[in-house]
């Protein structure tokens, strides 16, 4: 028989730290389960990455709209000559330039509308994530696991995200009115 007054158990504790930041959506292993190299232990919530993709697409649309705008900023010039015949040619050229300018303005207005619509999607994605954060934090603050200040900041961020959605939707309406008003 063996007996002891001071029992001890030796063991190894291995800390696991992620290489990728994010919220854990699912834990795929149980406590004290044997795992092998390469096994999937957790699944991360993909919403942060989806928002990053949407933001990158909005940035691309913004840059495309800026490119289109810079093209319309190039001043339209008309050439005139000193002869009577050149007066008639210049009137024709001015009409062609007005058509070109109107077409460019249409392209710019449509690009701005596309940008505004993309910004709405980004703002809605951010507002959705902020609302989800508020819901998660609501239970944590009720249990006193997080500070009230952190919860209040999250609520304020959610309200700001909702306001951003409204502002971006207003920009879409403004862009649509600009297209309608121009008769394009």
Are 34 and 8 a contacting pair, CB within 8 Å? no
| DSSP string over 7-57 | ------------SS---EEEE-S-TT----TT---EEE-THHHHHHHHHHH
Per-residue pLDDT tens over the stretch 132-151? 988 988 888 888 888 989 88
Q: Which has the minimum average pLDDT: 15-19, 32-36, 110-114, 121-125?
A: 15-19
Nearest of 62, 46, 68 to residue 125 by alpha carbon: 46
Split at pLDDT 50, 70, 90, the class of 76 is: very low
Report how far residue 152's alpha carbon sits from residue 159's, in angstroms, rounded to the nearest whole number: 11
Split at pLDDT 50, 70, 90, the class of 73 is: low
What's the confidence (pLDDT) of residue 163?
Answer: 92
Best-predicted range by mean pLDDT (27-31, 45-49, 155-159): 155-159
pTM of the predicted model, to two decimals?
A: 0.44
Report, as an integer, the average pLDDT of 147-172.
90
What's the confidence (pLDDT) of residue 160?
Answer: 92
């Amino acid at each position: 028989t063996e007996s002891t007054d001071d029992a001890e158990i030796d063991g190894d504790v291995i800390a696991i730290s992620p290489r990728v930041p994010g919220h854990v959506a699912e834990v795929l292993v149980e406590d004290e389960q044997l795992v092998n190299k390469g096994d999937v232990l957790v699944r991360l919530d993909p919403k942060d990455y989806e928002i990053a993709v949407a933001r990158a697409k909005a940035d691309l649309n913004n840059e495309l709209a800026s490119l289109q705008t810079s093209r319309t900023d190039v001043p339209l010039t008309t050439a005139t000559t000193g002869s009577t015949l050149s007066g008639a040619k210049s009137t024709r050229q001015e009409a062609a330039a007005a058509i070109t300018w109107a077409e460019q303005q249409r392209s710019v207005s449509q690009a701005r509308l596309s940008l505004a619509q993309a910004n709405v999607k980004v703002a809605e994605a951010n507002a959705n994530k902020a609302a989800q954060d508020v819901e998660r934090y609501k239970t944590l603050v009720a249990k006193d696991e997080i500070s009230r200040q952190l919860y209040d900041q999250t609520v304020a961020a959610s309200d700001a995200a909702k306001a951003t959605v409204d502002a971006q939707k207003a920009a879409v309406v403004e862009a649509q009115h600009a297209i309608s008003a121009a008769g394009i």
